[in-house]
Structure 1
Amino acid sequence: MSDLPVVVVGAGPVGLAAAAELAGRGQTVLVFERGAHAGAAVAQWHHVRLFSKWSQLVAPAARRLLEPRGWRAPAGYPTGEEWARLYLRPLAEALGDRVRFGAEVVGVARRDRDRVVDAGRDSEPFTVHVRASDGREERITARAVIDASGTWSVPNPLGGDGLPAIGEAAASDRIGYRVPNLTDAEVAARYAGKHVVIAGSGHSALTALVAFAGLESPARITWLLRRGAAGTVFGGGDADQLPARGALGMRAKAAVEAGRVQVVTGFRTDEVERAHDGRLVLRSSAGQRLDAVDEVVVLTGFRPDLAWLSEVRLELDATLQAPVALAPLIDPNVHSCGTVYPHGVKELSHPEEGFHLAGMKSYGRAPTFLALTGYEQVRSIAAAIAGDLESAGRVELTLPETGVCGGSGVFDVSTEEVSSGCCGIPANSEPLTLSAPPSR
């Protein structure tokens, strides 16, 4: 199978980094992207500024490919639009016809073998089923597949049990699942002076809180947290080795402490009801009620789309839907550090030899993914595919610390229950507990 290409699914930051790594090792590679251009998903959050600097957002293999063409990384912190326009699209151009747009991968299997068949499985290549934007279909035979398609297309719902709350779909005209672009006058007008509920506790939720708190025509902002206390939700502050990430948490904390945000903890949405005036009523499974809600911004994370991988034998953690060897490193039930040991092909392999999940999709439902992590993942995977096992097993990355240790990343516990931080560092900071009674 050495003459067959390696197929990469997704022309986002990690998928293109994988292609650059493989191309640099003389491997034949094809990238399939269902969008019309590189970074199609990144472009959908074009208004959001990253908390990683340009130097942390350019893959080493991409830099080796781009700099001989006269490309130089800008300085500072890009927005999603700038990351796509100034880096991802030039990288796709440098990769040339290795990247195909308007081509959606709708299935992967072993040639002439469904997932049940053992006989001859390991000696057969993959067949990658591709559907073009005009509906045409083709099958590509591949020696290996790297799925870097991300999770952007499958946001988690508002419902506290992982399924949509009762009435959530019917209220979709007032519920969004992305950080709104409040720099757009038309979008800002939709929320101005309204009662806006933000659900979620990650960096996207913090970004939204800061943006809404800064509106000239301020909205009434209610922040719903499923956890029982705010705890470590604001991050590590000055201790965060990504200063912009620490600053984001401090700005969100300042907005809360200034009274611009009402915080409701322990609220796990069970039902969304339409009131007589068209606004929404949110009810929790514990009987809490939140009335007169104009808009809901759901920022509860994402999950992987595994439906088109039904014929591939994956070994996924039952909790996170991440590779079983990776899951213990990233499980938010175990820690809230957000600090993950660098990992590569060893942790990302599956029973289906030659198939790898990489990038955000490799994290399953776990949060806090950094581009640097994805770049190290595909460096290791590409080395293994090329037969360089020594390089594949070597760690070539040190990740920045978040400055947060101690407690559970999903449901905060009291400091009495935590004797030491999850990273082995004493948890010497008191968790900030913020709560407010539901509005009537």
Structure 2
Amino acid sequence: MNKYLLTLALSTLSAVTFAQATISPAKKQTQTIAITGATIHVGNGTVIENGTIVFSNGKIVSVTAAGAVPQGGAMEIKAAGKHVYPGFIAPVTNLGLAEFESVKATLDFQEIGNMNPHIRSLIAYNTDSKVPATLRSNGILMAQITPEGGTISGSSSVVQLDAWNWEDAVIRTDDAQHINWPVLPRFRGGFGGGRGGMGAFNPEALQERRNAAIADLDAFFAEAKAYSEAKPDVVNTRLAAMKHIFDGSEKVFITANSQKDIVAAVNFAKKYGITPVIVGGEEAYLVTDFLKENNISVVIKQPHSLPSSLDDDVNMPYKNGAILANAGVNVVVSIEGYWQQRNLPFMAGTVSAWGLDKEKALSTITLNTAKVLGVDKTTGSLEAGKDATLFISVGDALDMKTNNVEKAFIQGRDINLDNLHKQLDRKFSEKYGLKVK
């Protein structure tokens, strides 16, 4: 009993502490804004020096080189020597579905069972979380909120990170179903992992379990496809949730890392007329031709990591994205966790440092991501007609040393860039008489 009381007390204390500095969502844009003199990184590979970007009513009106400020009361933001970027997008994250890792009641990213296509992450998304504000301060203004666990985890949705509730936040509802491809346990040593032996395991039994899991997934897909083509009298919630992946309106993201699993996952999806997105892709660089031939996008997970095998180049996780992108594969960069999402731009910076053109690296967290999530018609690049979701950085936003976001807009709304980390910095800087940033 004391354990539960302690947990309740800690969670209540945390809630009270966080509630002391509530940040309200920004109000709707009411005045035309023109940002002038900046280096504009469009997001599609184009860079405009000394450019002007104008937006009104939440939409971009024009992006030009040395354009004039519109007449009629437009507000000018002078940004000479600074950089303007499209808002970064964090894919495949449980952001907003978890708050305190030590308190089970605040973890809402996984359900019981293996086949959960009916689970919708969007309705569990917590806009009152203190984490998104820390992301906005580094230019991450949108995210794909994704469930975890099981073989079929459920559907993700795309949101913007400054909203009163999930209804206000949503950009695209139920954009994709997420599948964890059944795999064998990986036994490896070195690189921080303990060396495992096969002596305590029966390889044949493990392979049999994996084959059975794939067979179950295949049977579920076959049943769901038949259900989608029929007009059943009784609604099956799980099967009904699969309908839109067969008509192409909802994508399928499959987590697979080894080259054999990647090939198997793609061929499985093709069997049902689906072009999947591969998530993880640790060994994707070994099957670049296969991925390109099948028009497969890859969401690279955690470029700042160690290789999966002792035989791999120790720098391969850094190089993987560049190898794929330079071969013509559409690459998206992601990072694990939710607090860690604030470091997403630096993952793209690492990919750039290890062989990918800087503007192409930028696309891995902007336009490429928007295309994979099906929202590229409205966001992902700075082009007329798209949402005015963008930010101004004093320096290179992909460089940890120079990233300094001083102003950000989501759909034209001038958002508050304060966050819990900045509040704590000010608090203790004042306590010890340090210079307050």
TM range (shorter): under 0.3
Give the alignment's TM-score, normalised by structure 2: 0.25
Q: Which has the higher strand share?
A: 2
Give the alignment's TM-score, normalised by structure 1: 0.25
